[in-house]
Amino acid sequence: MNLEWYIARRLLKGDATKSASVPIVKIAIVGIALGLCVMLLSLFIITGFKHEITDKLSGFTAHLNVVPFIPGSTGEGGVVREADSLVSVLKRVEGVKNVYGYIEKPAIFKSQEEIHGVVLRGMDAGYDVAFFRQNLKEGDMPDFSSERASNEILISSSVADMLEVGVGGRITAHFVQEPPRARVFTVAGIYDTGFKEYDDVMVLVDERHLAKLNDWGPGEVSGVAVELEDVNRVSEIGGKVEDIVYDMSGNYEVRTLADVAPQIFDWLALLNMNVWVILILIVTVAGFNMVSGLLILILDKTSLIGILKALGYKNVSLRKLFLYISAGLIVKGMVWGNVLAFVLAGVQAVFHVIHLDPVTYYMDTVPVNFSVGYVILLNLGVITVTVLMLIVPTMLISKISPVKAIKFE
């Protein structure tokens, strides 16, 4: 039997109300609990932000986009030819969920009272509209499956407010080209994702209209979108897609979500840095709380230390004993910290208590994402760091004289 562990368990289960170290130890436990709670909430919120924003970006633009390579451009303009053969090859890549071609074309919307610049995204009947259907506020999704090009479009609530139109309203789209052209569309539905940067400009339309305006034939599109089963594999699968595209034609490039919206991912990277600072500071503070609690505990148990030394107990074994006691107290605090963090995060996830400005944060409520892997790693990291910090204070035990310790009060 491990004698140190046996004694530690007895001391942890004993009547602590008579101990002078109880208040200090309780404060240390509360510090561990609150610190871990704050760290977990920070983790839940930051991963929630990344998950929510990545999902919204993926709804507007796929994880990977194959577009014409135009030096000095941002990937807009040009044409991808023979898109059907490229789509069929990319669909066979392991980890790819869906592949489809699309056409994008800027336009100026004009209602009876207002005008507004937008980007029309031309889609066909095979496009997965689950993202926009999930965020649909009024009306219904346009029907792009008819034999003739549909005049129905899907606009955002912000565009509808700016143009002062509703479901069933008619909007004239003017296209700046030679010669200038115009088309009249009917609003079939209105969506709202809270992602103002895209809501203000993105409009879904039948791609046959845009192909005709561009004088494009079958298989000619602005780009090919590649959706992945796991967004975390975007770099890995992106490399495979690049190899395929390069072998088929050297005139295309592959752009990721980070390439399309670098400012958003820079902002998320800055949030990650803030979380690391929070984690380091709180772990350090929690560690010093336990150090002070351990020192008080050692002083409180000085008589016990003297008796055990008189019985032939070695300093190494005594240090191990107090590390076991400290680890037990840390685990107790961590259990309460986990419970509190999950309760608070659960309340936010279900009731959306804390709201945000969607103009600034791209969503109207604080997002929460429960990642079991991160929770386990964080808990293991906290207990490892705090226990390591307690090794040095236990050296005080070797300085205690058994004779003086037994008489200590």
Q: Place 16 in a pLDDT band, splitting at 50, 70 and 90.
A: very low
CB 110 within 8 A of CB 170: no
H helices within 184-261, ranges in order? 196-199, 207-213, 234-248, 257-260
- pLDDT averaged over the chain? 87
CA distances from 199 to 135, 162, 323, 360, 398 (A): 11, 12, 56, 13, 67
Q: Place 254 in a pLDDT band, splitting at 50, 70 and 90.
A: very high
- Which token pair is 168? 């069933």
Q: Place 111 in a pLDDT band, splitting at 50, 70 and 90.
A: confident
Q: In the prediction, which pLDDT does 362 show?
A: 85
SS3 state at 98: strand
Handedness of CA 370, 371, 376, 379 (dihedral sign): negative
Digit-coded pLDDT (tens) for 288-305: 888 888 888 888 788 888
Digit-coded pLDDT (tens) for 29-72: 888 899 999 999 999 999 999 899 989 999 999 999 999 987 65
CB 90 within 8 A of CB 224: yes
Among residues of the chain, what percentage have pLDDT more than 90? 50
Q: Place 250 in a pLDDT band, splitting at 50, 70 and 90.
A: low
Among residues of the chain, what percentage have pLDDT more than 70? 93
Q: Place 19 in a pLDDT band, splitting at 50, 70 and 90.
A: low
Ramachandran assignment for 67, one of left (phi > 0), alpha (psi -120 to 50 degrees), beta (any other): beta
Q: In the prediction, which pLDDT does 15 show?
A: 47
CB 199 within 8 A of CB 156: yes
Residue whose pair of structure tokens reads 């008080």 in the numeric block: 296
